[in-house]
């Protein structure tokens, strides 16, 4: 089993899309392992997105991600990372395949409704960020 992190971003939470997004995730046979409502401060958002330090979009991303509540979700299944990335679609909703979460719910590259981990190492780091101490070294609980 593989674990990954999904964040239902503030734009989707504000539009009451949490249930619809999680329903799609469950229909895709992901198991929800952990879930919590989070409200990121600017400092925590900057820490989470530290990989983008120095990029021109970072300040706008920080402002957006700290603008309202979000839902952090640990998901589990075989090939969880690649399967979730396929389910959510590409970052730009205008370029995401029809039927993906970002195509159907996203507005633009920043307000694209969800975040999904992109690699095993990233998933482990991101899960630890929101759910400290919930994984052992193998990525399992």
As a whole number, the mean pLDDT across the chain is 94
N-to-C CA span, the chain:
11
Please, what are the domains in the chain? 2-130 (3.30.70.141)
- Over range 107-112, report the average pLDDT: 94
Q: At CA 126, angle to CA 120 and CA 129, rounded to 5?
A: 145
- pLDDT (tens digit per residue) in 26-85: 999 999 999 999 999 999 999 999 999 999 999 999 999 999 999 999 999 999 999 999
pTM above 0.85, yes or no: yes
What tokens does 44 get?
């925590």
Local structure of 80: helix, strand or coil: helix
State what percent of residues in the chain have pLDDT above 90: 93
Known active-site residue 52: no
Q: What is the pLDDT of residue 27?
A: 98
Catalytic residue, candidates 52, 103, 107, 115: 115
Q: In whole angstroms, what is the distance from residue 100 CA to residue 93 CA?
A: 9
Alpha-carbon distances, residue 63 vs 20, 38, 98, 141 (angstroms):
25, 15, 28, 32
**pLDDT for 141 beyond 60:** no
């Amino acid at each position: 089993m593989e674990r990954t992190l999904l964040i239902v971003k503030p734009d989707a939470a504000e539009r009451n899309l949490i249930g619809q997004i999680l329903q799609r995730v469950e229909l895709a046979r992901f198991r929800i392992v952990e879930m919590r409502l989070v409200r990121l401060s600017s400092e925590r958002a900057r820490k989470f997105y530290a990989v983008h330090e120095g990029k021109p979009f970072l300040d706008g991303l920080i402002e957006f991600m700290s603008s309202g509540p979000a839902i952090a979700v640990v998901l589990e299944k075989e090939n969880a990372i690649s399967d979730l990335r396929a389910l959510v679609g590409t970052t730009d909703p205008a370029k995401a395949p029809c039927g993906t979460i970002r195509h159907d719910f996203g507005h633009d590259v920043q307000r694209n409704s969800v975040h999904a981990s992109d690699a095993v190492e990233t998933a482990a780091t991101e899960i630890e960020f929101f759910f400290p101490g919930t994984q052992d070294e193998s990525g399992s609980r």
